[in-house]
Amino acid sequence: MNDDTHIRLSFEFFPPKTDVGREKLIKTRAELNALNPDFFSVTYGAGGSTRDNTRGIVTTMKEEGLSVAPHLSFGGDDEEAMLSLLGQYKDAGIDRIVALRGDMPSGMGSALQLVYANELVAFIRKHFGDHFHLEVAAYPEIHPEAASYSEDVQYLKGKFDAGANSGITQYFFNPDAYFYFMEHCEQAGISQPIYPGIMPITNYRNLARFSDNCGAEIPRWVRKRLEDFADDQESLLAFGVELVSELCETLLENGAPGLHFYTMNQVEPVRQIVQHLGLQDA
Ligand code: FAD
């Protein structure tokens, strides 16, 4: 599975808030598991707001025999609480973490002191050695708070220098942003793999809102096309599958080492895209 030709595939979930959502996720992960992903990941709410929920889902998935990585940030926690949570993950057989700074929970102003991801990576390495494979976030279109392009790349390098093993990107729709970014990472001395994060298109309004918040650009022609579909959900989905499949194809043909899908806890259209690419047999 670790040879150079292997295309790594991973699927991200968020922890549902309701019993109905949790039930649905059981079905979703079983169906997506049939596509042979290398691992799943489960997000962590800003400020640690989903601590118990994320841990519960991750440990249940692990018990089901799935390979799963919790996302983690200090949030408002102190070192003791982090050590305890990481210890629980280790004891549960978890060996991969997506290590993040995270954002301020909405309505908190600047009440929390956010801990940069490189510090979390160093903290995990200090206390748990090489037990965990550590993934960190990367931003081909640059993190919205970054002072400059090159500074953001340098901070990413800092996360690898602290001991991260690989990166997963924020989503983007312009493959050139990823290729250009990878060149700069290489020039900065980053040799670890950075996996493109892929956002399927299922709803224009949500996507536009999300993208404005996280600094991901929807190209104007794509926005215009999506606006055209208005309430024609079927055409929007078909356009989205075609666009995102082509993006994935371009990425993989030009050296991307795999794909990480932001599934939004839905089987489709991720399954269609993966099948389109023939990756379920990879
Ligand atoms: P950092 O790498 O710490 O960077 C944050 C900002 O500070 C950047 O602008 C960077 O240039 C700058 N910076 C970095 N290091 C330093 C330093 N040492 N000194 C000064 N400046 C520095 N959010 C969640 O709340 N929960 C999740 O589960 C989650 N999962 C994500 C998964 C992926 C793959 C990605 C790409 C993002 C995810 N996010 C999640 C969003 C992420 O938490 C936000 O983008 C957050 O604002 C930055 O987190 P980071 O780990 O990239 O931060």
Query: Per-residue b/e over 206-219, b at no fewer than 16 CB within 10 Å?
Result: ebeebbeeeebebe
Which ligand 1 atom is at minimum distance from the Cα of 139? Answer: 36
pLDDT digits (tens, 9 = 90+) for 145-194: 999 999 999 999 999 999 999 999 999 999 999 999 999 999 999 999 99
pLDDT of 2 reads 47
Band the pLDDT of 47: cuts 50, 70, 90.
confident
3 lies in some domain? no
Mean predicted confidence (pLDDT) in 241-264: 98
2 lies in some domain? no
pLDDT of 256 reads 98
101 lies in some domain? yes
1 lies in some domain? no
Answer whether residue 3 shows pLDDT above 70. Answer: no
**196 cis-preceded (ω within 30 degrees of 0):** no
134 lies in some domain? yes
Q: How far is the CA of 146 from the centre of ligand 1 (A)?
A: 10
User: DSSP class of residue 193?
Assistant: -
Better-scored residue on pLDDT, 231 or 275: 275
- d(CA 58, CA 68) in angstroms, rounded, equals 6
Mean predicted confidence (pLDDT) in 73-89: 95
Ligand 1 contact, 149 CB (< 6 A): no
Q: Which helix (H) or strand (E) holds 68?
A: strand 68-72
**264, exposed or middle or buried, with CB in 10 Å at 0-12, 13-18, 19+?**
middle
Q: Return the axis-axis angle of helices 220-229 and 233-253, rounded to nearest 10°.
A: 150
What residue numbers bound the domain in which 158 lies?
Answer: 8-281
Which residue puts its alpha carbon closest to atom 24 of ligand 1? 102
Q: What is the pTM of this model?
A: 0.97
pLDDT of 106 reads 77
Which ligand 1 atom is at minimum distance from the Cα of 120? Answer: 3
214 lies in some domain? yes
End-to-end, the C-alpha distance of the chain in Å comes to 9
181 lies in some domain? yes
Mean predicted confidence (pLDDT) in 224-245: 95
- d(CA 9, CA 248) in angstroms, rounded, equals 12
3-class secondary-structure state, position 279: helix
pLDDT of 109 reads 65
Mean predicted confidence (pLDDT) in 101-113: 78
pLDDT of 1 reads 43
Q: How far is the CA of 137 from the centre of ligand 1 (A)?
A: 6
pLDDT of 112 reads 75
The best mutation among 155, 156, 169 to test binding of ligand 1, ranked by most ligand atoms within 8 Å of the C-beta, falls on 155
The number of domains in the chain is 1
Better-scored residue on pLDDT, 66 or 104: 66
Q: How far is the CA of 239 from the centre of ligand 1 (A)?
A: 31
Ligand 1 contact, 157 CB (< 6 A): no
pLDDT of 281 reads 65
Average pLDDT, the chain: 94
Say whether 12 is catalytic. yes
Ligand 1 contact, 140 CB (< 6 A): no
Ligand 1 contact, 74 CB (< 6 A): no
Which ligand 1 atom is at minimum distance from the Cα of 44? Answer: 28
CATH number of the domain that residue 202 is part of:
3.20.20.220
* Distances 73 to 17, 35, 79, 119, 168 between C-alpha atoms, Å: 19, 29, 11, 10, 15
Mean predicted confidence (pLDDT) in 212-226: 94
Answer whether residue 255 shows pLDDT above 50. Answer: yes
Band the pLDDT of 108: cuts 50, 70, 90.
low
194 lies in some domain? yes
Q: How far is the CA of 270 from the centre of ligand 1 (A)?
A: 25
Ligand 1 contact, 145 CB (< 6 A): yes
